[in-house]
Amino acid sequence: MDGEILEAVAAEAPAMNALLAELVAAPTLLGDEAGGQAVMRRAFAELGLEPFEVPLDAAALERHPAGAPHGWDVAGKANVLADWQPAGAADGRSLILNGHIDVVSPEPASLWSGDPFAARRDGEWLHGRGAGDMKAGLAAIVGAVGGLRRLGLAPRARVQLQSVVEEECTGNGALACVLAGHTADAAILTEPTRGAVWTAQVGVLWFQVRLLGAPAHAGDAPVGANAIEGSFAVIEALRRLEAELNVVRPPLYAAHPHPINLNVGMIRGGDWPSTVAGECVTHFRLATFPGEAIADLKARVEETVAGVAAYHPALARQRVEVLYDGFQCEGYELEHDAPLVTGLLDAAARVTGQRPPVFASTATTDARTLQLYGGTPAVCFGPVAENEHAVDECVHLPSVTATAQAIALFIADWCGLEPTPSS
């Protein structure tokens, strides 16, 4: 049966590539996900499934401990799901196949070799924002199910397909699915893992440090009043905190030289070249190890910033505050001998002839939400991509097919398969 499944999924490659190109052409930045979700709704329907929506409920998200703060309106925003139901008795194990539709900004777009939102084929590679992270994974999900249905097969337990929003900034899309009761015996998130199986990931905190100085004419320029210059001292102090957080590493990350990363992602300050900047807001991302409470990391950040404000001369005349918007998520870990892990490793090895590596990620994904809050053991497994979040992002198209083939074999093993009544 393996050979038939592999051939059937391989036959879906042209359709997967076409779907991926169409998805890349949809600029699904934060707040503009609807166009991409319309494509996924149609793709699920063309599989013969009935897509449905799980909207984001701001009030429900705010009440949940995993809900991330968000300074934007989520009204009308929705995840798109579809259930592939068993043809007969549901005596297998259920599965969620999850991917996210949202992408990060391609700016500065002038650095790209072409339009970031126009899929460009170069041999076996397809370029474009989101091609790897992670619209290729969504295409692989559709290809895996399409290949099995091409053979006239149905699972012996429910397989749910999910295209979610806000993975890149809050995780609130996946959380909305959990709150709506969508759980399973296992979940595979088709992130671009380069064929590895990610079984752990760090927690992530987004925060802002806002400095209010004393606007003045540049000809006067009182010492210590410039909010932009004051931000330099805050960044230096947070770099020292970053170094401290990397000193003691758990076994998962013992071999990684620097798993906890601080990123200075955005800065906005001042409004006139000849005016001393009266305000500066710097946006940061900082990680924490699995098992460590995000509240503890917030306390460390606030303590660090307060210490700078109290003792650094550049901030003596400024008001400093820490604000939160976006990720506030814990890390997670799944045991290497969990049935989901061993089963997926086996399925992938039957496609490539090699057992994939198991990896603890220094990034975060929606896997944490499904496992920690939905009780659904979750891993990430997906194609080979390059330059995610960077210039000229691309994905290796044969690896998209291989990902779909491994998922199809896993469905056969995990859920079980049987002919549909019409077959």
Helix (H) or strand (E) holding 390: none
Nearest to 331 by CA among 378, 262, 264: 378
Domain total of the chain: 2
E runs forming strands in 47-128: 52-55, 78-84, 95-100, 120-122, 125-127
Residues 245 and 368 in one domain: no
Q: Average pLDDT, whole number, for the chain?
A: 96
* Residues 51 and 129 occupy one common structural domain: yes
pLDDT tens column, 94-109: 999 999 999 999 999 9
The answer on pLDDT for 270 being more than 70 is yes
Tokens of 217: 């004419």
pLDDT(423) > 60? no
pLDDT bucket at 152, cuts 50 / 70 / 90: very high
**Are residues 127 and 197 both part of a single domain?**
yes
The CA-based angle 160-388-396, given to 5 degrees, is 75
Tell me the per-residue pLDDT of 360-409, one tens digit each, with 9 for 90 and over.
999 999 999 999 999 999 999 999 999 999 999 999 999 999 999 999 99
Same domain, 274 and 186: no
CB 57 within 8 A of CB 176: yes
Domain boundary among 300, 329, 358: 329
Q: What is the mean pLDDT of the segment spanning 265-273?
A: 96
Q: Which of 291, 309, 329 is the last residue of a domain?
A: 329
What's the pTM? 0.96
Give 200's strand partners: 333, 360
| 278 and 263 together in one domain | yes
Q: What is the pLDDT at residue 115? A: 97
Domain that holds residue 297: 203-329
Of 221 and 135, more confident: 135
Instruction: Read off the pLDDT of each residue in 223-237 and give the average, rounded to a whole number.
Output: 89
- Note the pLDDT tens digit of each residue in 288-326: 999 999 999 999 999 999 999 887 777 877 899 999 999
Q: Is the dihedral of CA 319, 324, 325, 331 positive or negative?
A: positive
- Tell whether 337 and 309 lie within a shared domain: no
**Taking phi first (over 0 means left), then psi (-120 to 50 degrees means alpha), and beta for anything else, what does residue 181 get?**
left
Residues 119 and 261 in one domain: no
User: Which of 286, 308, 329 delimits the end of a domain?
Assistant: 329
Strands 95-100 and 187-189: parallel
- The CATH number for 145's domain is 3.40.630.10
